[in-house]
Structure 1
Amino acid sequence: MPRTTSHRNFFPTSSGGSSAAAASGSSRSTSCKSPPPPRDQSRRKVRKMGILKVVAENPIVTVAVRGCFMCVTVNSLVQRLGVNPKMIEVEEMEKTAMLVKLSKIEGSEGGPWELPAVYVGGKLLGGVDKVMEAHVKGEFVPMLRAAGALWL
């Protein structure tokens, strides 16, 4: 019984490694291209709605740089508390433009200087240091309850 293996295009072929194109005698590869990566629906929604509206409509919003360890740490803390924050991830090269947009939000007193930036109830709480400080002092959970992000 021939063994089947999966190749790059995820279509099973016989163990001899011959594909349908090779079996037909064609030297051109007729394999299907892999599908494009899924589009980030959240990112497109943020662009369409505007960052100001996203922050105003969600109880907790975390604006983060993709792959940033401190951003992941803040998000993990919030999720461990039982809250599912609205995450907005930007690439490193988009960081400055995002900080300029965030500085235009009312009540943020000039906006954040660094990412991650955590907004609770439409107001800037701060970055990692402010979130951790509020958590250690026992003020973070009451903030989340007041914003409607946590019910218990």
Structure 2
Amino acid sequence: MHRTTSHRSGGGSSRSTNRKSPSPSPPPPPPRDQSKKNVRKTGILKVVAENPLVIVAVRGCFMCVTVNGLVQRLGVNPKIVEVEEVKKIAILVKLSQIEGSDGGPWELPAVYVGGKLLGGVDKVMEAHVKGEFVPMLRAAGALWL
């Protein structure tokens, strides 16, 4: 005896209860947004952890360019992570997840020395004026001389 179900409109499929087993279909791929989110999260946290000096900056930001200029004049080539203005909030949230960041940074540029948040342009300039910035860079391995 052969039984069939009625056809459904709107993308449904008809099934037959024949003795033949349907060929197994491969599992669906993971959602794109989720996989990209994991890669980006791992990416920026990994960059901060693996580089002695990281500047997370908004593309075209004058203060970000100022911090970069200072550290380059000191003889350091920082790892610069540039973000678009529209992605700034999302990046700040990800950066706040770094252990020991005390929930910050709150603004960009965010400067990380030895994997730890130093702060923004004000903290960098303060450390530089006090003579603490160069020893920090040496201790992190960003400056050798």
Residue correspondence of structure 1 range 133-148 to structure 2 within 5 A: 133-148=126-141
TM-score computed with the length of structure 1 as normaliser: 0.68
Task: Tell me how many residue pairs correspond in the alignment.
Answer: 107
Residue 111 of structure 1: CA displacement? 1.7
Q: For each residue in 1:77-123, what CA deviation from the matched residue of structure 2 results, as whole angstroms up to 9, or x when unmatched?
A: 01000000000000000000000000000011112000000000000
Q: For each residue in 1:31-85, what CA deviation from the matched residue of structure 2 results, as whole angstroms up to 9, or x when unmatched?
A: xxxxxxxxxxxxxxx8485111110000000000000000000000010000000
Report if aligned partners of 2:41, 2:94 keep a CA contact under 8 Å in 1: no
> Is 2:60 the counterpart of 1:81?
no
> Is 2:64 the counterpart of 1:71?
yes
Query: In structure 2, what is the equivalent of residue 104 of structure 1?
Result: 97
Aligned pair partner of 1:128 in 104, 111, 121: 121
Counterpart secondary structure, 1:67: coil
Report if aligned partners of 2:57, 2:82 keep a CA contact under 8 Å in 1: yes
Structure 1 vs Structure 2 CA RMSD: 1.3
Return the alpha-carbon distance in structure 1 between the equivalents of residues 64 and 75 of structure 2: 17
Residue 149 of structure 1: CA displacement? 0.3
Paired-residue identity, %:
89
Letter in 2 for 1:123: K
Counterpart secondary structure, 1:50: helix
Query: In structure 2, what is the equivalent of residue 59 of structure 1?
Result: 52
Residue correspondence of structure 1 range 16-27 to structure 2 within 5 A: none
Structure 1 segments of 4+ aligned residues over 2 angstroms from their partners: 46-49
Return the alpha-carbon distance in structure 2 between the equivalents of residues 80 and 48 of structure 1: 31
Query: In structure 1, what is the equivalent of residue 23 of structure 2?
Result: none
Return the alpha-carbon distance in structure 1 between the equivalents of residues 113 and 94 of structure 2: 17
Residue correspondence of structure 1 range 24-63 to structure 2 within 5 A: 47=40, 49-63=42-56
TM-score computed with the length of structure 2 as normaliser: 0.72
Report which of the two structures shows the higher radius of gyration computed on alpha carbons: 2
> Is 2:141 the counterpart of 1:151?
no
Unaligned runs of 5+ in 1: 1-45
Letter in 1 for 2:55: T
